[in-house]
Amino acid sequence: MAKGDDIEERLINFAIAAIALCDRLPDTPGGRHVAGQLLRSGTSPAPNYSEARSAESKRDFVHKLRIALKELNESRVWLIVILRSKMLPQPEVSPILRECQELCAILYSSIQTTQGRRPDAPPPINH
């Protein structure tokens, strides 16, 4: 398995889980809206990560990873909306939310490492 294949596989599985979850959302105006938003943001990180893996430069790599992370962060918010609005029961949403949070942490760490900072290092202070 090539470096990054495991993350790409997890992102693909996340997209599939997001699609399946959206299919179970209620057929109401709110349910349809949230489903559309989560479908877009939840299926975007995998192809963005794939593009990052074939980036032309370190800067391009980080840029594409940031796009994937941004979409995962948006997905996380929509999953929380689903939970708090009780559109679906917690046991159906929690596993995908947990995976989303783990993927966010992985991509964030990758960005920090690529930029030459330790993942646990505080951001630099701009004077």
Angle formed by the axes of helices 58-84 and 90-114, nearest 10°:
160
With a CB cutoff of 8 Å and minimum separation 6, the contacts of 41 are 71, 72, 74, 75, 78
Q: Give the pLDDT of residue 123.
A: 53
Nearest to 61 by CA among 70, 75, 46, 48: 48
Does the structure show a pLDDT above 50 at 127? no
Instruction: Please state the rounded mean pLDDT for residues 11-39.
Output: 98
Cα end-to-end distance, the chain, whole Å: 44
Instruction: Please state the rounded mean pLDDT for residues 70-94.
Output: 98
Q: Give the pLDDT of residue 126.
A: 47
Q: Give the pLDDT of residue 119.
A: 52
- Distance from C-alpha of 35 to C-alpha of 51, rounded to nearest angstrom: 25
